[in-house]
């Protein structure tokens, strides 16, 4: 009996393929190397949705800009109760206000929503008024502007764009599976995205990068890395940013993101320090689990990149959702158009009722 559906094939897809042995990711026939740093987030949204969402506008960047402006109206629903929650919980609540349809306008609003709502929540939590979107900007540049209240530099917008492209889709990960299961009931795109968001939030999936900053801050200096890591593992804790269900070699997205951090010029010495912690972690994991191929996953350098872009660590998972929402929607539509209801079986191992005397 497999616990975790390891190696179970639950869908056929033309959207993405993860080769865990070779460390390769393909998105609709293109390799990640071909896309990251070359295609924009808007390009990969078009690539993923083509053929799955009817009536996609030809000028997708402009349509996504308009969608950002439309969903901004929901920000007025932010109240003290929501602002007391974590950014992902507040963002999820705003997203749940969107209508549950399947058309192109709904798809674009859902892609716009995590970006607009996250920026508004982070600003409001810091005591600033939310900023309305500028539909003329690229998605990445507008996210940073809405977050900070001032335009971001060109390299910063490029770095965020590269991140959103890098995480836009990744096979049948837990959140995409959750989105597909909901879509298979024909519930609608907003419900599917909410399912994806719920699954993404957990620390074993998209919730890992925030705590990585906590780990780096606690370690403080390279010479503390090994003892700190040993102590964590002694307590039965897992190291965030390491290990993956599918990749048995280094996650190719880790290096794409590391390159983006380097180009951005992270805080002096921060990247070198993180590399020292990574090397110590890999060495300890190899000693402790020689039969498991535990490698660096996407989240380790995600944390460094989003820190360099001045996102607060408790909003890192929201930024992941800004990119992955494109994949959730494409998968939800692929499932709704061609798939059957997802309804696996369970094996009952509990007690049987007593036979009546
Ligand atoms: N730190 C310490 N030990 C680990 C780690 C880790 N990061 N990852 C796996 N292990 C250990 C497990 O304890 C287990 O040991 P055991 O065989 O003695 O019980 C063994 O390695 C195998 O782990 P599994 O639980 O079988 O791996 P699984 O495929 O279920 O989990 C996961 C993958 C959840 C990513 C895991 O590696 C983990 O918890 N990593 C830390 C959290 C993290 O970085 N999450 C982000 C993942 S990337 C993403 O979702 C975008």
Residue 1 has a pLDDT of 58
pTM recorded for the entire structure: 0.95
Least confident of 17-21, 70-74, 321-325: 17-21
Q: How much is the average pLDDT of 208-235?
A: 96
The residue whose CB lies within 8 Å of the most ligand 1 atoms, and thus the one to mutate among 243, 245, 281, is 243
Same domain (yes/no): 108, 176: yes
Give the model's pLDDT for residue 339.
81
pLDDT at 266 over 70: no
238: in domain: yes
CA of 242 from ligand 1 middle (Å) equals: 7
CA-to-CA separations, 303 to 80, 266, 299, 306, in angstroms, rounded? 28, 11, 6, 5
Residue 9 has pLDDT above 70, yes or no: yes
CATH assignment at residue 180: 1.10.580.10
Model pLDDT for residues 91-109, shown as the tens digit of each residue:
999 999 999 999 999 999 9
The span from the CA of 311 to the CA of 313, in Å, is 6
Give the Å distance between the CA of 102 and the centre of ligand 1: 35
Q: What is the mean pLDDT of residues 260-277?
A: 87
pLDDT of the residue at 357: 61
Does the pLDDT value for residue 267 go beyond 90?
no
For residue 167, give the ligand 1 atom closest to its CA: 51
**Whole-number Å distance between alpha carbons of 258 and 266:** 10
Instruction: Determine the distance separating the centroid of ligand 1 and the alpha carbon of 238, expressed in angstroms.
Output: 7
Nearest CA to ligand 1 atom 34: 204
**Nearest protein Cα to ligand 1, atom 15:** 289
Let me know whether 218 and 180 are in one domain: no
Domain extent for 215: 210-308
Please give the sequence-ordered ranges of beta strands (E in DSSP) within the chain, or none if there are none: 16-19, 24-27, 30-31
Q: How many domains does the chain have?
A: 2
Distance 233 CA to ligand 1 centre (A): 12
Residue 226, in any domain of the structure: yes
Across 36-40, 56-60, 319-323, 347-351, least confident range: 36-40
User: Is 299 an active-site residue?
Assistant: yes
Residues 21 and 92 in one domain: yes
Closest residue (by CA) to atom 44 of ligand 1?
A: 241
Residue whose pair of structure tokens reads 């716009």 in the numeric block: 112
Residue 151 confidence (pLDDT) above 80: yes
Sign (positive or negative) of CA dihedral 148, 142, 166, 35: negative
Asked whether residue 291 is assigned to any structural domain, the reply reads: yes
- The ligand 1 atom nearest the CA atom of 174: 50
Cα(219) to ligand 1 centroid in Å equals 21
For ligand 1, atom 21, the nearest C-alpha belongs to: 292
Q: How far is CA 317 from CA 55, 110, 185, 280, 314, in A?
A: 30, 16, 27, 25, 7
Q: Which residues line ligand 1 (CB under 6 A)?
A: 4, 203-206, 208, 238-245, 289, 292, 294, 297-299
Known catalytic membership, residue 74: no
Q: Does a structural domain hold residue 11?
A: no
Clarify whether residues 173 and 222 are in a common domain.
no
Whether residue 3 is contained in a domain is answered as no
Confidence of residue 256 (pLDDT cuts 50, 70, 90): confident
CA distances from 225 to 186, 216, 233, 250 (A): 49, 9, 12, 20
Query: What per-residue confidence (pLDDT) applies to 2?
Result: 65
Q: Which pLDDT belongs to residue 72?
A: 98
In a domain, 190, yes or no: yes
Give the mean pLDDT of the chain: 95
Catalytic residue among 139, 170, 205, 244: 244
Q: Which atom of ligand 1 is nearest to the CA of 233?
A: 2
List Cβ<8 Å contacts ≥24 apart for 218-223.
Answer: 219/277, 221/273, 222/273, 222/276, 222/277, 222/280
């Amino acid at each position: 009996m497999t616990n975790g559906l390891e190696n179970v094939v639950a869908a056929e897809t033309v959207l993405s393929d993860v080769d865990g042995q070779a460390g390769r990711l393909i998105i609709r026939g293109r390799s990640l190397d071909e896309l990251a740093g070359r295609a924009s987030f808007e390009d990969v949204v078009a690539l993923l949705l083509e053929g799955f969402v009817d009536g996609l506008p030809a000028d997708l960047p402009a349509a996504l800009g308009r969608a950002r402006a439309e969903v901004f109206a929901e920000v007025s629903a932010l109240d003290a109760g929501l602002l007391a929650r974590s950014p992902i919980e507040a963002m999820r609540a705003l997203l749940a206000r969107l209508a549950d349809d399947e058309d192109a306008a709904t798809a674009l609003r859902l892609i716009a929503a995590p970006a607009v709502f996250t920026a508004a929540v982070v600003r409001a939590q810091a005591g600033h008024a939310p900023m309305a979107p500028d539909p003329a900007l690229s998605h990445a540049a507008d996210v940073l502007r809405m977050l900070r209240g001032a335009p971001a530099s060109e390299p910063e917008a490029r770095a965020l764009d590269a991140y959103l492209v890098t995480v836009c889709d990744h096979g049948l990960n837990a959140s995409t599976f959750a989105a597909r299961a909901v879509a298979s009931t024909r519930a609608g795109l907003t419900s599917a995205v909410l399912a994806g968001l719920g699954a993404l939030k957990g620390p074993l999936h998209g919730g890992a990068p925030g705590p990585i900053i906590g780990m780096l801050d606690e370690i403080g200096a390279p010479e503390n890395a090994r003892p700190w890591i040993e102590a964590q593992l002694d307590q039965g804790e897992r190291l965030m940013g390491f290990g993956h269900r599918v990749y048995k070699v280094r996650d190719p997205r880790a290096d794409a993101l590391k390159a983006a951090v380097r180009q951005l010029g992270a805080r002096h010495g921060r990247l070198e320090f993180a590399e020292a912690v990574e090397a110590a972690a890999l060495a300890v994991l190899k000693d402790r689990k020689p039969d498991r191929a535990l490698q660096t996953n996407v989240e380790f350098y995600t944390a460094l990149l989003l820190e360099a872009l001045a996102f607060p660590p408790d909003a890192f998972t929201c930024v992941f959702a800004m990119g992955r929402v494109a994949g959730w929607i494409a998968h939800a539509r692929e499932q709704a158009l061609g798939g059957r209801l997802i309804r696996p079986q369970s094996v009952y191992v509990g007690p049987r009722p007593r036979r009546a005397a």
